[in-house]
Amino acid sequence: MPEIDPAGSATPREVGVALIGYGTVGQGVAALLADHHDQWVATLGLDVRLRHVVVRDAGAPRDVPAPAGSLTTDAAAAVADPAVQVVIEVAGMVDEGRHLLADALRAGKHVVTANKALLSAHGEELTGLAQEHGVNLLFEAAVAGGVPIVRGLRDLVRVDHVHTVEGILNGSCNYILTAMSEGTDYETVAARAQELGYLEADPTADVSGADSLRKLRLLASMAFGGPVREEDIDCTGIDRITAADILALKAAPGGPREVRLLGRAQLVEPGGQAYTAVVEPVAVPQDHWATGILGSTNAVTLGADHVGALTFSGPGAGRYETASAVLTDLVDVLLGTVPTASPLGDRALRNARDEVTGRWYVRSSDALSDQLEPLLERTHLTGPLSGLTRVVARDELAPWLDDPESCVIGWEPAAHDLDPEEAAR
Amino acid sequence: MPEIDPAGSATPREVGVALIGYGTVGQGVAALLADHHDQWVATLGLDVRLRHVVVRDAGAPRDVPAPAGSLTTDAAAAVADPAVQVVIEVAGMVDEGRHLLADALRAGKHVVTANKALLSAHGEELTGLAQEHGVNLLFEAAVAGGVPIVRGLRDLVRVDHVHTVEGILNGSCNYILTAMSEGTDYETVAARAQELGYLEADPTADVSGADSLRKLRLLASMAFGGPVREEDIDCTGIDRITAADILALKAAPGGPREVRLLGRAQLVEPGGQAYTAVVEPVAVPQDHWATGILGSTNAVTLGADHVGALTFSGPGAGRYETASAVLTDLVDVLLGTVPTASPLGDRALRNARDEVTGRWYVRSSDALSDQLEPLLERTHLTGPLSGLTRVVARDELAPWLDDPESCVIGWEPAAHDLDPEEAAR
């Protein structure tokens, strides 16, 4: 690994940083870097300089001014600058980002990124390059914002066998679902979330589950040590859930349930190669860990053979929350405290999506109602066209999953739940 | 730092380990070390050998056999063996442990320990020695068993200002309190907890709060960067709480409350030097994070300026759970990925115990009942001798805190709660 001088020395050593992207998170990173500059000179012996701030429009108004002379629109030149040893990317570009970061890694520069879309699409390629060139590619901020789940998982897989990853990975969806739980309908809550800045102008990636899917893909790949790709994950969003569904589930037989958008990946058997991975709304009972996760909070539970279940929760987004995660990675790079071994892994895995079974709450459109009846164990959960299925393969629900007039919600426990006795040593 | 060869090499490099203590956790460590041996040869290029297992009685029966020829009663010789580079201490001895580990550190050996009592008593001395001799002293397993809170806090203080540590730090007490919440009285639950092995033969350290206090002392010292010592923490246990208190609080005006034994340390003002630190049972409302922490689970919330609140939860004890935390530290030592800077810090702090104010539930003995009335805001919470205080200094409750016939329980929010607006940037 290129030496950055981890020890505090009499003359602080200069480290050049290029920051690509200067929106909410980028400005947070710049503010925190300025804030920590003197402390890091004193404690780490490192004089960290923000040399380039790459933007699309150098004239746009911003809350946090960039260091004098640092603003540029030439990303390639910023990355190529020999005085730059670390590239921080928070711009969210997929194709352009791929080439920029690949160039940075090939030039022997460390990369810290918050770009889940880029990593989800090209993670193995980029981590492979990082390994080849002996540099770090770190992405704590790409999953669950300020929650240190990437490093938690990285530490855990070294000493334990992780068989389950389950998480609330999108704060906007959780904000909407917990607000709907108080009786407001989807459209009203979504509009309010957009006003408050919790939801993007185009909220499709959030409410369709695509954003959660990308994060689950990264966590599952780290957990199981091999590629779990986007297309390997079945995904249902929250945009078809109505206030009536939520209220029906709060009054469900067997006790009230709250709806959470969960990403869940599990090994089908302990230590095995076959896994299942699903993102979908799930009606969790009151004693489920996810019930207590409210508003825009993110939370992830890791299930492992030795340690049982570990849960991490905290802010999933926000300027300083996400910037703080970027800085945690940056400090690891500066101290040289992360091995460059690929965190995504290259173990062969088998996607067992056809083995996903469970029970689901289904509210059906008129068109599909006749087909629903034979699958149901309990009918009339909200009205004549809804109910709870018996244990079925998720595949059998394809007609309702595909139908925009129907709504399908998981019923805990779903998919493969490892027998705790079997999972324990 | 002494070189242990972090890179995978063609010929695996031998690393000698001495394990002091071979009870529940020690046997777990030995089992996991054996389990991971081949994986670590392959992935880390390190051939980790358990050379000595130090016990008091070599003939005692054990579930996990120690490696042939490794059992010894001579701790000093095991530590002094030049083939030993890492000492793992899980014996729980305070005075003897202090000298053994000091010798190990002086000899340039890394130390991994689960011994909270030893660290609480001599933490600064030992971390100072580690720093002086350029080796690691790691103690993930000493606080909250399998929950990676020590490393979470270590990472966070580098990039953020941590102003609050709040945790459920003793699984036995939480087991007792959550079982009492279902209506069983203290004695019955405590007896059951002892039978199940959740409670030590002498449960005083657990139920008096002393065990939680030691862990809070370590976390608070890390969080605030200076010594918060045992005597700086006010402490009340759970042994005076009756089923009637629990039930009264479940029926409290303003909504049901659950009792949790919380350790809480806070800076009185952001970035300041004055702090308060208290371990006491607290009646938390339903939307408090601690309400959902059931049974022997441990959980810690860190409050910080940039990241807001981060919560870590998981198993607080158990053979493989705790051993897994020991192994996480061992891997960090082997990879050389932890700086040797003192995690306890030497910043000057001021204990502001006389500034702890709040509201408390008090059930008074007859003897003190006359004095109680003027402090109460609401009376008759369980009976004529109980109630909820107005905002008072904790000091004013000294007569009831000292009286074995009275019971005092915190009422959320207590102590200094930083204004979230003020704490935010």
Q: Concatenate the DSSP letters of all residues of B285-353 into one string.
A: ETTSGGGG--TTEEEEEEEETTTEEEEEEEES--HHHHHHHHHHHHHHHHHT-S--S-SS-----EE-G
In terms of CA atoms, which chain B residue is nearest residue A314?
B310
Q: What is the DSSP string of B150-180?
A: HHHHHHHHHHS-EEEEEEE--HHHHHHHHHH
Q: Is the CB of A159 less than 8 angstroms away from the CB of B327?
A: yes
Is the pLDDT score of A159 beyond 80?
Answer: yes
Instruction: Find the CB nearest A311 among B31, B314, B324.
Output: B314
What is the distance in angstroms between the Cα of B135 and the nearest Cα belonging to chain A? 14
Instruction: Say if the Cβ atoms of A32 and B306 lie within 8 Å.
Output: yes
Residue B10, pLDDT score: 61
Same-domain status, A237 and A316 = yes
Residue A342: predicted pLDDT: 78
- Judged by average pLDDT, the poorest of A72-86, A179-193, A221-235 is A179-193
B102 and B173 part of one domain: no
Find which of A166, A300, A306 to mutate to test the B interface (most B CBs within 10 Å of its CB).
Answer: A306
Is B341 in contact with A311 (Cβ distance < 8 A)?
A: no
Q: How far apart (Å, rounded) are the C-alpha atoms in residues B87 and B77? A: 12
Q: Which of residues 274-303 of A touch B (CB under 8 A)?
A: 287, 289, 291-292, 294
Burial classification of residue B287, based on how many CB atoms lie within 10 Å of its CB (0-12 exposed, 13-18 middle, 19 or more buried): exposed
Q: Report whether A407 contacts A240 (CB < 8 A).
A: yes
| Nearest Cα residue to A137 out of A98, A168, A96, A94 | A98
Asked whether residue A62 falls in the same domain as residue A114, the answer is yes
Is B60 inside any structural domain? yes
Out of A31, A43, A146, whose CB is closest to B307? A146
Task: Please give, rounded to a whole number of angstroms, the shortest distance from the CA of B48 to a CA of chain A.
Answer: 13
Asked whether residue A10 carries a pLDDT value surpassing 70, the answer given is no
Burial class (CB in 10 A: 0-12, 13-18, 19+), B384: exposed
Q: Structural domain of residue B282, as residue ranges?
A: 149-411
- The answer to whether the CB atoms of B32 and A158 lie below 8 A apart is no
- How far A3 CA sits from the closest chain B CA (Å)? 14
From B138, B169, B185, give the residue that closes a domain: B138
Q: What is the pLDDT of residues B302-338, one digit of tens each?
A: 999 999 999 999 999 999 999 999 999 999 999 888 8
Residues of chain B with pLDDT under 70: 1-10, 413-425
Q: Are residues A309 and A179 in the same domain?
A: yes
Return the pLDDT at A421: 37
Helix B24-44 to helix B319-335 angle (10° resolution) is 40
Comparing alpha-carbon positions, the chain A residue that sits nearest to B290 is A292
- What would the two tokens of residue B98 be? 């202090």
Contact across the interface for B148 and A158, Cβ inside 8 Å: no
| Residue among B43, B151, B314 whose CB faces A309 most closely | B314
Residue-level pLDDT at A360: 95
Let me know how long chain B is.
Answer: 425
Q: What is the pLDDT of residue A413?
A: 59
Nearest by CB to residue A307, choosing from B309, B311, B314, is B314
Collect all residues of chain B within an 8 Å Cβ-Cβ radius of residue A308.
146, 314-315, 318, 321
Cis peptide before B148 (omega within 30 of 0): no
In A232-343, which ranges are E strands?
Answer: 234-235, 257-267, 274-285, 297-304, 308-315
Same domain for A113 and A159, yes or no, is: no
Contact criterion met (CB < 8 Å) for A308 and B146: yes
Instruction: Please give the pLDDT value at position A254.
Output: 85
Residue A397's closest CA among A366, A423, A425, A359? A359
Chain B: give the shortest CA distance to residue A215, in Å. 19
In a domain? residue B107: yes
Tokens of A105: 């890694």
**Residue A329 resides in a domain:** yes
| CB contact (8 A) between residue B312 and residue A312 | yes
**Whether A307 contacts chain B with CB within 8 A:** yes
For an interface test with A, which of B162, B310, B346 has the most A Cβ atoms less than 10 Å from its Cβ? B310
Q: What is the CATH number of the domain that holds B54?
A: 3.40.50.720
By the CB < 8 Å criterion, does B152 face chain A?
A: yes
Residues of A in contact with B324 (CB under 8 A): 159-160, 304, 306-307
- Say yes or no: A53 and A166 in one domain: no
Together in a domain, B69 and B168: no
With CA atoms as reference, the chain A residue closest to B345 would be A43
Residue of B nearest to A148 (CA): B152
Q: How many domains does chain A have?
A: 2
Binding-face residues of B in 157-176 toward A, CB within 8 A: 158-160
Distance from CA of A100 to the nearest CA of B (A): 27
Using an 8 Å CB-CB cutoff, list chain A residues near B41: none
A176 within a domain of the structure (yes/no): yes
**Number of CB atoms found within 10 A of residue A108's CB:** 12
Cross-chain Cβ contact B155/A287 below 8 Å:
no
CB contact under 8 A, B309 and A289: no
Retrieve residue A112's tokens.
């810290």
Number of separate helices (H) and strands (E) present in chain B: 14, 18
Gap between the Cα atoms of B339 and B136, Å rounded:
8
Residue B104 lies in a domain: yes
Location of structure tokens 């006003």: A195
A258-272: average pLDDT: 93
Query: Which residues in chain A (326-365) have CB-CB distances under 8 A to chain B?
Result: 327-328, 331, 335, 337-339, 341
Q: What is the CATH number of the domain that holds A250?
A: 3.30.360.10
User: Nearest CA to CA, how far is B150 from chain A (Å)?
Assistant: 12
Q: Which residue in the set B312, B321, B331 is minimally distant from A307, CB to CB? A: B321
Check: CB of residue A134 under 8 Å from CB of residue A110. no
User: What confidence tier does A78 reach under pLDDT thresholds 50, 70, 90?
Assistant: very high
Same domain, B333 and B391: yes
CA–CA gap between residue A420 and residue A308 (Å, rounded):
9
The answer to whether A215 is a known catalytic residue is yes
A325 pLDDT exceeds 80? Answer: yes
Contact at CB, B32 and A341, closer than 8 angstroms: no
User: Are residues A307 and B287, on separate chains, in Cβ contact within 8 Å?
Assistant: no
Q: Which residues in chain A (178-207) have CB-CB distances under 8 A to chain B?
A: none
Closest-CA distance, A421 to chain B, in angstroms, reads 14
CB contact under 8 Å between B310 and A312, yes or no, is yes
Q: Residue B71: CB partners within 8 Å, gap ≥ 6?
A: B22, B53, B55, B58
Residue B327 lies in a domain: yes
Query: Is A248 buried (19+), middle (13-18) or exposed (0-12) by CB count in 10 A?
Result: buried
User: Which residue is listed with tokens 């639950």?
Assistant: B189
Out of A289, A291, A307, closest to residue B315 by CB: A307
pLDDT for the residue numbered B196:
82
Residues in chain A within 8 Å Cβ distance of B3: none
Are both A268 and A390 inside the same structural domain? Answer: yes
Residues A82 and A176 in one domain: no
B331 closest CB neighbour out of A159, A311, A321: A159
pLDDT at residue A418 in the model: 35
* Residue A105 belongs to a domain: yes
Residues B127 and B176 in one domain: no
- Report yes or no on B424 lying in a domain: no
Distance from the B402 Cα atom to the nearest Cα atom in chain A, whole angstroms: 36
DSSP H helical ranges for B60-209: 75-80, 95-106, 116-132, 149-159, 171-180, 186-195, 204-207
CB–CB contacts below 8 A, A to B: 120
Q: Which of B138, B161, B196 is the last residue of a domain?
A: B138
**B124 and B205 in one domain?**
no
CB contact under 8 Å between A314 and B308, yes or no, is: yes
H or E element at residue A377? strand A376-379
| Predicted local confidence at residue B129, as pLDDT | 96
Query: B401 by DSSP, 3-state: which?
Result: helix
- Of B61, B60, B40, B42, nearest to B50 by C-alpha is B40
Closest residue to A328, CB basis, from B159, B320, B338: B159
Question: CA of B291: which chain A residue's CA is closest?
Answer: A292
CB proximity A152 to B under 8 Å: yes
Given B115, B138, B161, the domain boundary residue is B138
> Who among B32, B159, B335 is closest to A327 (CB)?
B159
B304 to chain A: closest CA residue = A321
